Amino acid sequence: MNPSPSRLPLLALAVAAFAIGTTEFVIMGLLPEVATDLKVSIPSAGMLVSGYALGVALGAPLLAALTAKMERKHALLLLMGLFILGNALCAIAPNYDVLMVARVVAAFCHGSFFGIGAVVAAHLVPANQRARAIALMFAGLTLANVLGVPFGTFLGQWAGWRSTFWAVTALGVIAALGVVRFVPSLPDLKAPDMRRELRVLREPQALIALGMTVLGFGGVFTVFTYIAPILQEQSHVSPHWTGAVLVLFGLGTTIGNILGGRLADWKLMPSLMGILVVLTASLVAFAWTMHSTVASVVTVFLWGIAAFATIAPLQSRVVHVAGDAPNLASTLNIAAFNLGNAGGAWLGGAVLAAGYSMPTVSLTGAAVTVAGLLATMASVALERRRPMTAVAEGA
């Protein structure tokens, strides 16, 4: 069955999300190869994850401001051009320092693309389907874990890690062509008024929502950054089978993304709290199951479901509390996801550098997720005491 015309723009956005998600996550599967080739330690190679995530966090508000007056489709294409350039630089990077800079360049498009893309996706469907539309766009991100990351890992192990970045560069070109062909120009989607958009930062609930994202998702990357060495050293999975386990994780993220979108459209905050409880439990369990090959693989699958079930609810929450000023808030929330990624990758590396074990890294990730759950509970309590002030009224 062919997709309906109304879904083609969402599918085009999902293809672009697939390309961006692949370059973000594939480095985790190639940490041992990159570390060996560039003669750096595993924690140092892990900082390439933090570098990318910080590039997203810094680039998101900057690119949001620079593209504020552009028509949304044109802005998306500009951002994809930056993505293609950054990944080509990754492929030719002669040393660690240049690779770090190239990762930051590629990352600059990320936050604004997903921020603008989420607003465009929500604009294309009725109000009661917005979380599902956002989830469909983010399905590209989850499919990157099912297909992009494992294939990139296999390719990098077989032909060298640089070949993976050349493949991602080509994928970026294909994604840009998809946006050109299928994403419509939306002249009625007015360019955001940045003065009004900035008012969202005066809304306590918006700031709490951003904190929920940093902490709620940060625990995932505290552990996932080091998934390849965990599987190979603790779970006794061979390097060639690591990609297969990542496929299973990716399948879990796909299920979680769909589930999270539906739960968010049903009951947003209760669902989000339940998801964070399950995510915490899976990280605690992984501290013990990582010593068993079978048990660790099962846990990784369940962990993937819980991890990506958070995305649509967290993104929907910040769009909701932003009222009619969603553009900057949506983009800042993508930055918040990646600030959590950067902090998580750094925290996991710091735990390892301090001489602690891989199970301690997993427990640390669980503690970060608990902090996200507490922030979510605080948001609910505040909303019960004091309803949100409408951003549109200049609060």
Per-residue DSSP letters for 254-308? HHHHHHHHHHHHH-HHHHHHHHHHHHHHHHHHHHHHTTSHHHHHHHHHHHHHHHH
Amino acid at 120: V
pLDDT at 390: 42
Q: Which two tokens stand for residue 293?
A: 């090959």
Q: Please provide residue 225's backbone torsions phi and psi, each rounded to the nearest 5 degrees.
A: -55, -35
The pLDDT-based confidence of 370 (bands split at 50, 70, 90) is very high
Q: What does the alpha-carbon distance between residue 115 and residue 269 come to, in Å, rounded to a whole number?
A: 21
For residue 141, give the nearest of 276, 229, 22, 275 by alpha carbon: 22
Q: Which two tokens stand for residue 103?
A: 């990762």
CA dihedral 263, 266, 269, 273 (to 10 degrees): -40
* Contact (CB, 8 A) for 271 and 312: no
pLDDT at 391: 42
Q: Furthest-apart CA pair in the chain: how many Å?
A: 58
What's the mean pLDDT when you consider all of the chain?
82
Q: Treating both helix axes as pointing N-terminal to C-terminal, what angle do 293-309 and 130-143 enclose, rounded to 10 degrees? A: 140
pLDDT at 371: 93
pLDDT at 6: 59
Question: Residue 98 half-sphere exposure, CB side, CA atoms within 13 Å?
Answer: 10
Q: What is the mean pLDDT of residues 311-317?
A: 84
Say if residue 387's pLDDT is above 70: no
For residue 214, give the nearest of 34, 359, 344, 362 by alpha carbon: 344
pLDDT in tens, 272-281: 999 999 999 9
* More confident call, 343 vs 392: 343
The pLDDT-based confidence of 367 (bands split at 50, 70, 90) is very high
Q: What is the mean pLDDT of residues 158-170?
A: 91
pLDDT at 192: 58
Which residue bears the tokens 């079978």? 294
Which residues does 190 contact at the CB level (< 8 Å), separation at least 6? Answer: none
Of the chain, the percentage scoring pLDDT greater than 70 comes to 89
> Which CA distances in Å does 11 have to 3, 122, 165, 256?
9, 13, 23, 18
The pLDDT-based confidence of 249 (bands split at 50, 70, 90) is confident
Q: Give the CATH number of the domain where residue 355 resides.
A: 1.20.1250.20
Q: What does the alpha-carbon distance between residue 51 and residue 41 come to, in Å, rounded to a whole number?
A: 15
Helix (H, G, I), strand (E, B) or coil at 310: coil
* Contact (CB, 8 A) for 341 and 221: yes
Say if residue 11's pLDDT is above 70: yes
The helices-and-strands tally (H runs, E runs) of the chain is 17, 0
* More confident call, 136 vs 81: 81
Task: Please give the tally of structural domains in the chain.
Answer: 1
Domain that holds residue 113: 5-393
